[in-house]
Amino acid sequence: MNTTFIVARKEFQDGLRNRWVLAIALILAALAVGIAWFGAAASGGMGFTSLATTVVSLSTLAVFLIPLIALLLAYDAVVGEQESGTLLLLLTYPLSRTSLLLGKFLGHGLILGAATALGFGIAGVVIAFAADGVVLGDLIASLGLLILSSVLLGWVFIAFAYLISVWVTEKARAAGLALGVWFLFVLVFDLGLLALLVSVQSGADWLPWLLLLNPTDGFRLINMVGFESAQAYTGVTAIAQNTAFHAGWLLLILVGWIVAPLGLAILRFRHHSA
Amino acid sequence: MNPVIECRGLTKRHGDLTRLDALDLTVQEGEVLALLGHNGAGKTTTMKLILGLISPSAGSLEVLGGAPDGPHAETLRRHLGYLPENVSFYEQLSGREVLDYFARLKRIDRRQVDVLLEKVGLGHAAKRRVKTYSKGMRQRLGLAQALLGEPRLLLLDEPTTGLDPAATRDFYETVRELRERGCTVLLSSHVLPGVEPYIDRALILGAGRRLALGSLEELRHEASLPLTIRAKGRWPGVDWSAGWDDTRIAPRYLNGSALELGVHPSAKMSALRRLTGTPGVEDIDVLPPTLEHLYAHFSAPVAAASSTSDQRGTP
């Protein structure tokens, strides 16, 4: 068996043992079912409103939770093993640093992927059975896209977490930086963009492109495309409504957001002193 | 026999600090070498160099016939066992799962896992999570990890820390077995009394330099420290504090029924002759200087120098 898969297998096993998979899946499922059920609360009603509203609300939930979970899951991937001494030991094994990091990514990615699919899948099943007037094909298509893009978003932040983890020498510092990254991409970036939007009066057709500088906005755009009626709820990404961002391209950009930090992390890790 | 480790003028500098200064060392197959020294003396640096975790700043180093930090590393690492000084394994996994993971990475038969767990006395705890292990149990798990794959070269950094005396003895018995199979063992330790009977040679390091290297016999000869001779008995009227015809014999402690002498090795026989010739002496013990004495002797000049100059960092 390839060393990368050996590492991935162990990380996944560790994730199951830590109950990470279970915890993430349960949180996502509970919140998702809640959102589906109380989706109409804003308009004074109760019960399932529409698929569009539900999916956009779910993506808003995911945009906050998934990056946080991914960072928490993976911030100590390298620095944690360094502190416990196992990294030094692993480096004396017939195992390259690249396959160690890739193996960890695979393992952590699988944990997050399985948990997200499970969590949103449970919500989907509940909606399919309990809500009226939902076309099953539409539900599967939009939830499928939500799950796919959520997993990609999670992997982006796992890659960020690794970049942090190979850069610092203390676990506490890595945790702090991870929270900083979350804060920056999930909250601060959109606020800054909003401020820019207000100050630039008109003719700024380059503004929507700035959204691509933030993977979380890319994620929001993916789940907004195809729901014309839902664009009122999507916040700052509404500036992109006239721009033809195709979901496929956006997914590809998310993949780019995974590859870039992960590649940097591997480069950095290969020159890591033991 | 081919040397397992051969280094000439091996030097490692880290900024202004010289962690290891021009070390010459040849270790033969099946040899057990103890690395002794204070913190910061260069023990861990030497081990890391041999493991290929760091590259030398100057000098040459060959381990099992190649440089450990080059392309040779891939083959070398399958024949190597290492136990780091402070290691805490994955707490959520069981002892067997941890060992299984390392066995997979080393690409060896995983049936060894249970055999090794049994061997280090963790058979009963194999299914328990490492989280519940005591310090000694964790250390034994680390040992089992180092023994995976019947390594040809074993590097053990402070292997007996946290082990109780019985477990320490078991551990050294394992080292003896390994040596009989032709495995070369390098171990660093500051628990000196236990290690003596099991080592072939000792390398004493201080401030990155080689202070002494040799078997206990050679080190004793080089240091020519006094032996201790103890005698017991009843000797009314004999004045042991005087009457030695040799200045190399110094009485240290005496009372009516016990006597202790510090004797230079070359004066041993003359001291014994007088003791055996005196009626009333019932028992004589001859104690050669222990490794502890030798270590103190060789590292004393460096210890004195480093306590006056700036404190050196640990490696």
What crossing angle do the helices spanning A136-167 and A97-130 adopt, rounded to 10°? 150
Q: Give every CB contact of residue A15 below 8 A, 6+ residues apart in sequence.
A: A21, A73, A107, A108, A110, A111
Query: Is 0.95 exceeded by the ipTM?
Result: no
- What's the mean pLDDT in A223-231? 62
Q: What is the CATH number of domain B3-221?
A: 3.40.50.300
Query: Who's near A26: CB < 8 A, 6+ residues apart?
Result: A119
pTM summary value: 0.84
- Residue A214 tokens, joined: 């933030």
Considering chain B, what percentage of its residues have pLDDT values greater than 70? 95
Check whether A228 has a pLDDT greater than 60. Answer: no
Lowest mean pLDDT among B15-19, B249-253, B293-297: B249-253
The predicted pLDDT at position B309 comes to 46
Q: What is the DSSP letter of B12?
A: E
Asked if residue A98 has pLDDT above 90, the reply is: yes
Write out chain B residues lying below 8 Å of A13, CB-based.
93, 97
Residue of A nearest to B84 (CA): A89
Is residue A79 a contact partner of residue B80, using CB atoms and an 8 Å limit?
Answer: no
CA distances (Å), origin B296, targets A229, B226, B230, B300: 83, 13, 22, 6
What confidence tier does B1 reach under pLDDT thresholds 50, 70, 90? low
Percent of chain A past pLDDT 90, that is, above it, reads 42
pLDDT band at A274 (very low <50, low <70, confident <90, very high): low
Whole-number pLDDT of residue A45: 62
Whether B97 and A94 lie within 8 Å, measured CB to CB? no
Over residues B141-152, the pLDDT tens digits come to 999 999 998 899
Tens digits of residue pLDDT in B53-75: 888 999 889 898 888 888 888 88
Give Cβ neighbours of residue B12 (< 8 Å, ≥ 6 apart).
B18, B19, B20, B42, B45, B49, B54, B56, B57, B208
CATH topology for the B226-287 domain: Alpha-Beta Plaits (3.30.70)
Q: What's the pLDDT band for B120 if we cut at 50, 70, 90?
A: confident
What residues does each domain of chain B span? Answer: 3-221, 226-287
Contacts of A84 in chain B (CB under 8 A): 87-89
State the smallest CA–CA distance between residue A2 and chain B in angstroms: 9
For the cut 60, the answer to whether the pLDDT of residue A1 exceeds it is no
- Which residues in chain A have their CB less than 8 angstroms from residue B90's CB? 10, 14, 86
